[in-house]
Amino acid sequence: MAAAAVLAAAVSCGRAGRTAIVRDAEIERKVEATLSGMTLDDKIGQMVQLAITNILDESLAKIDTNKLNTVIGTYRVGSILNVARNKANPAAATADLVREMQRVSMRELGIPCLYGLDMIHGASYLDEGTLFPQEIGMAATFNLEAVRAMGTAIGYESRAALVPWVFSPVMDLGRNACWSRHWESWGEDPYLSGEMSRVLVLADQGEDPNHIDKEHVATSIKHYMAYGVPLSGKDRTPAYVPYNELRERYFHPFKESIEAGALSLMVNSASINGLPVHANRELLTGWLKEDLGWDGMIITDWADVNNLYKRERVAEDKVNALALAVNAGIDMIMDPYDVACCADLKKAVEDGLVPMSRIDDAVRRILRLKYRLNLFDEPTWDTSGYELYREDFIAAAKQAAIESEVLLKNEDGILPLAQGTRILVTGPCGNSMRTLGGGWNYTWQGSKVDEFTESYNTIFEALAAKFGAANVRYVPGVAFNEAGKWYEELSPEIPAAVAAARQADVIVACVGENSYCESPGNLDDLTLSENQRNLVKALYQTGKPIVLILNEGRPRVVSDIEPLAKAVVDVMLPGNFGGDALAELLSGDANFSGKLPFTYPRAVNDLHTYDYKVSELVKTMGGMYDYDAKMEVQWRFGDGLSYTTFAYSDMSVDKTEFVSGDILTVSVKVINTGSVAGKESVLLFSSDLVASLVPDNRRLRAFDKIDLAPGESKVVELKLPADDLAFVGYDGLWRLEEGDFRLAAGSEHVMVRCARTKVWETPNK
Ligand code: BGC
Active site residue 172: no
Give the C-alpha separation, 181 to 454, whole Å: 26
Residue 565 in contact with residue 445, Cβ under 8 Å?
Answer: no
Let me know: does 338 contact 363? Beta carbons within 8 Å: no
The per-residue pLDDT for 9 is: 40
* Paired residues of 426 in beta bridges: 475, 509
Share of the chain above pLDDT 90, in %: 93
Give the pLDDT confidence score for residue 622 in this predicted structure: 61
- pLDDT value, residue 2: 40
For residue 579, name the pLDDT band (cuts at 50, 70, 90).
Answer: very high
Beta strand 333-334 pairing with 48-51: parallel
Domain boundaries, the chain: 24-303+329-347+357-372, 400-601, 644-759
Distance 82 CA to ligand 1 centre (A): 9
CB-CB neighbours of 133 under 10 Å: 35
Mean pLDDT for the chain overall: 95
pLDDT of 632 reads: 81
Q: Which residue's alpha carbon is at the smallest distance from atom 11 of ligand 1? A: 302
| pLDDT higher at 4 or 736 | 736
* Atom nearest to 336 CA in ligand 1: 5
Candidates 476, 545, 542, 544; CA nearest to 514 is 476
Residue 248's identity, in one-letter code, is E
Q: CB-based contacts of 420: which residues, under 8 Å, 6+ apart?
A: 467, 468, 471
Separation CA 726–CA 728 (nearest Å): 7
CA nearest 523: which of 136, 182, 121?
A: 182
Ligand 1, pocket residues at CB < 6 Å: 81-82, 118, 167, 222, 266, 301-302, 518
pTM: 0.96
Question: Do 345 and 335 contact (CB within 8 A), yes or no?
Answer: no
| Ligand 1 center to 301 CA (angstroms) | 6
Q: What is the pLDDT of residue 616?
A: 78
* Banded model confidence at residue 491, pLDDT cuts 50, 70, 90: confident
Pocket test for ligand 1, best of 81, 115, 118 (most atoms within 8 A of CB): 118
Catalytic residue among 172, 189, 295, 301: 301
Mean pLDDT across 579-603: 97
Q: Write the DSSP string, 132-186.
A: ---HHHHHHHT-HHHHHHHHHHHHHHHHHTT--EE---B------TT-TTGGGS-
Ligand 1 pocket check: which of 86, 87, 302 to mutate, most ligand atoms within 8 Å of Cβ?
302
Q: Which of 166, 301, 332 to mutate to test the pocket of ligand 1 (most atoms within 8 A of CB)?
A: 301
Q: What does the pLDDT read at residue 11?
A: 41
Confidence of residue 614 (pLDDT cuts 50, 70, 90): confident
Question: Which numbered atom of ligand 1 lies nearest the CA of 220?
Answer: 10
Measured in Å, residue 689 CA sits from the centre of ligand 1 at: 41
The residue nearest atom 2 of ligand 1, judged by CA position, is 301
Residue 136: phi and psi, rounded to 5, are -60, -35
What CATH superfamily is the domain 24-303+329-347+357-372? Glycoside hydrolase, family 3, N-terminal domain (3.20.20.300)
Return d(Cα 57, Cα 59) in angstroms, integer: 6
**How many whole angstroms separate alpha carbon 248 and alpha carbon 734?**
8
In contact, 263 and 297? CB cutoff 8 Å: yes
pLDDT in tens, 728-741: 999 999 999 999 99
**Nearest protein CA to atom 10 of ligand 1, as residue:** 167
Residue 6 above 50 pLDDT? Answer: no
∠ Cα 576 578 580 (to 5°): 100
Q: Alpha-carbon distance 18 to 764, whole Å?
A: 10
- The 10s digit of each residue's pLDDT in 25-71 is 999 999 999 999 999 999 999 999 999 999 999 999 999 999 999 99
Q: Whose CA is nearest to atom 5 of ligand 1?
A: 302
Strand-pair partners of 754: 658, 739
Q: Could you read off the pLDDT of 419-453 as tens digits, one per residue?
A: 999 999 999 999 999 999 999 999 999 999 999 99
Which residue out of 86, 166, 167 has the highest number of ligand 1 atoms within 8 Å of its CB and is therefore the one to mutate?
167
Alpha helices for 405-490 (secondary structure H): 433-437, 459-467
Count of residues making up the chain:
765
Which CATH fold topology does 400-601 show? Rossmann fold (3.40.50)
Distance from the CA of 224 to the center of ligand 1, in angstroms? Answer: 12
pLDDT tens digits along 94-114: 999 999 999 999 999 999 999
Name the nearest CA neighbour of 559 among 498, 510, 600. 600
Q: Which residues pair with 170 in a beta bridge?
A: 222
Which atom of ligand 1 approaches the CA of 167 most closely? 10
Task: Return the percentage of the chain with pLDDT > 70, whole number.
Answer: 96
Q: How many Å is the Cα radius of gyration of the chain?
A: 26
Nearest CA to ligand 1 atom 6: 302
Q: Give the C-alpha separation, 119 to 157, whole Å.
A: 10
Report d(CA 380, CA 361) in Å as an integer: 27
Neighbour tally for 627: CB within 10 Å: 10
DSSP-based three-state secondary structure for 65: helix
The sign one gets for the Cα dihedral 466, 469, 471, 475 is positive
- Residue 619 is predicted with a pLDDT of 57
For ligand 1, atom 7, name the residue with the nearest CA. Answer: 302
The amino acid that residue 686 corresponds to is S
Residues 234-250: what's their mean pLDDT? 97
Distance 219 CA to ligand 1 centre (A): 13
Distance 120 CA to ligand 1 centre (A): 11
Do 24-303+329-347+357-372 and 644-759 have matching folds? Answer: no
pLDDT attached to residue 492 = 84
Lowest mean pLDDT among 209-223, 627-641, 667-681, 728-742: 627-641
pLDDT score, position 620: 56
Would you say residue 340 has pLDDT above 80? yes
Mean pLDDT over 15-27 rounds to: 79
Query: What's the topology of domain 644-759?
Result: Immunoglobulin-like (2.60.40)
Cα 457 to Cα 200, 447, 481: the distances in Å are 27, 17, 21
**Mean of pLDDT values over 263-292:** 98
DSSP output for 366-397: HHHHHHHTTTTT-S----TT--SS-HHHHHHH
Higher confidence at residue 619 or residue 435?
435
- Tell me the mean pLDDT in the region 751-756: 98
Cα distances (Å, whole numbers) of residue 258 to 63, 189, 298, 570, 617: 35, 18, 12, 32, 36
Atom of ligand 1 nearest to the CA of 236: 8
